[in-house]
Amino acid sequence: MAENVKKKVNKTKKSSSPKNNNSKSPKKKSSSSKKVTSKGTTKTKKKTGTNKNVSSKNKGKTTQTKTSSKTVKKKNTAKKSVPKKENINIETTIEEIKKEKNPLRMIIIILSALGIISTSSLAYFNQSKVEVNLKKENVLEINEKYALSSFVESVVNCEQINKNKKVSFDSLGENKITLSFKDKNKNNITKEAKVKVVDTNPPEIKFKDKITVTEGDKVDLLKGVIVTDNSKEKIEAKIDGKYNIKKAGTYKLKYVAKDSSGNSKEVDFTLVVEPKKVEIKPPKNEDKSWTTSKGYSAVTKNGITYINGVLVVNKTYSLPDSYNPGLNSTVKNKVDELFAAAKEAGFDSMSIGSGFRSYKTQKSLYNSYVKRDGQTKADTYSARPGHSEHQTGLAVDICHKGYSCITSAFDGTPPAIWLNDNAYKYGFIIRYPQGKSNETGYKYESWHLRYVGEDLATKLYNDGNWITLESYFGITSQYK
Ligand SMILES: [Zn+2]
């Protein structure tokens, strides 16, 4: 259809050659001009021969083209009555009017001329029809740059001004943008496009993937974390995961940042809580003598404490770093007796897992536990140097082949049960009985035996309901 119209238009143009046009309302004109053009052209063809001179005479001349549909209608009426006068141009017409004596004919001539003018000019409008088609939907990302051309679907007979210029939107929701165009005559045309601005990008998180702190430190894990987003929305940042700053360990955590559009970003990081560096000084116990809360006489001499004649080492009472007796010979013999009895009972593979330990050995052992688990935890199962019963030379850890050695897995096993019920007969006590850690300061150790002599061991065995040394003597076991 459009092609047909164009062809016809070109033909008409040949005969009238207009150079200017105005396109104030192209749509209206195109609909009315189609009708007019087809009629006009057909008739023009017929008439070409007759009006040869007239046409050539007017070649290159500018004709006035400003018309309206009203004029067109008028012209149509005129054409009907004087069909043979259509191809007349203004100058010709003026000449004819001058010559013409008949006023009626003169009017007819004038009207015919106007009809021709409008026909040709409308045809020209059609050719220069200006169209701007904007994109129907514009969903844009906040603060991203978009070329002005990206809002336009197509243009006809005009050009977008600054089409490569880039714009961005910094507020979410409905926004508007005004687009400018110019037609061939440099007339400005403006159009407004609606845009919907959204935020689909999650915030960015700049962070340290590993944070190292010391046990018990105060730390703000979000400090130093930089969260950025493409919008000015409020961003919520938090730490996801469980950790305990008071407990040494390695914690796998996440930073989570969320913007108010619901976009969220998660990144992993590691929190390393290092154990507090423990400065270990050899304990010093002032020499003194006193009576315990249970009425036992107590004495500390050269840093070694005896209560009712029994050497006591726990979290309250320590040994000097110089105390280095090795495994007590009586203890050695008693362990042999114990093992012999065990063998008779069917436990033929008992051995000493750990006997005497020097201050120095205990120091490195304790430090390795602190490094692994932190001091708080280490203190529940390992003695600080100078506070280990193994340094007395009177304590042994018993193992049995085929069973876990010096671990809680030994608790409740047949050899552990046998030791619990028979060790006292050889002067040994279960030094850290089950359920008495608040007295001893240590968790249950089914394998740790302390030699105290048969009399006291029997009393403490208490028919299987072990009494602790602390409870028996009326003393504490707490680090100062
Ligand atoms: Zn032990």
- Residue 85 CA to residue 79 CA, distance in Å, equals 8
**pLDDT, position 375:** 83
Q: 132-198 architecture in CATH? A: Sandwich (2.60)
Ligand 1 centroid to 445 CA: how many Å?
Answer: 8
Q: Does the pLDDT at position 95 exceed 70?
A: no
- Residue 412 CA to residue 6 CA, distance in Å, equals 104
- Residue 152 CA to residue 132 CA, distance in Å, equals 8
* Span 428-451, pLDDT tens digits: 999 999 999 999 999 999 999 999
Most confident of 66-70, 267-271, 281-285: 267-271
| Mean of per-residue pLDDT scores for the chain | 80
Ligand 1 centroid to 406 CA: how many Å?
Answer: 8
* Span 161-217, pLDDT tens digits: 988 999 999 888 899 999 999 998 889 999 999 999 998 888 888 878 888 888 778
Where in the sequence numbering do the catalytic residues fall?
A: 445
Per-residue pLDDT band for 121 (boundaries 50, 70, 90) equals low
Ligand 1 centroid to 47 CA: how many Å?
Answer: 128
Give the strand order in the sheet containing 188-198: 139-141, 188-198, 173-183, 158-160
Ligand 1 centroid to 151 CA: how many Å?
Answer: 81
* Span 142-160, pLDDT tens digits: 888 999 999 999 999 999 9
**pLDDT, position 74:** 43
**pLDDT, position 279:** 67
**pLDDT, position 184:** 87
**pLDDT, position 116:** 61
Domains 204-274 and 288-473 share a fold: no
Concatenating the DSSP letter of every residue in 394-457 gives: -EEEEEETTS-SSSGGGTTSHHHHHHHHHGGGGTEEESS-TT-HHHHSS---TTEEEE--HHHH
204-274 in CATH: which number? Answer: 2.60.40.10
Where in the chain are the domains? 2-127, 132-198, 204-274, 288-473
pTM, rounded to two decimals: 0.48
Beta strands in 260-393 (DSSP E): 264-274, 288-291, 297-301, 304-307, 310-311, 350-354
Q: Does the pLDDT at position 36 exceed 90?
A: no
288-473 in CATH: which number? Answer: 3.30.1380.10
Q: What is the mean pLDDT of residues 352-367?
A: 95
Residue 111 CA, chain-centre distance (Å), reads 77
Ligand 1 centroid to 284 CA: how many Å?
Answer: 22
More confidently predicted of 170 and 318: 318
Residue 91 main-chain phi, psi, to 5 deg: -60, -45
* Closest alpha carbon to 451 in 408, 389, 399, 406: 389
* Closest alpha carbon to 118 in 5, 229, 39, 218: 39
Ligand 1 centroid to 385 CA: how many Å?
Answer: 13
**pLDDT, position 93:** 55
Q: What is the mean pLDDT of residues 222-245?
A: 83
Concatenating the DSSP letter of every residue in 207-260 gives: --SEEEEETT----TTTT-EEE-SS---EEEEEES---TTS-EEEEEEEEEEET
Going by C-beta distance under 8 Å and a sequence separation of 6 or more, which residues neighbour residue 413? 400, 403, 404, 446
Residue 126, beta-bridge partner list: none
Ligand 1 centroid to 393 CA: how many Å?
Answer: 11
Which amino acid is present at 156?
V
**pLDDT, position 91:** 58
Residues by chain with Cβ below 5 Å of ion ligand 1: 397, 448
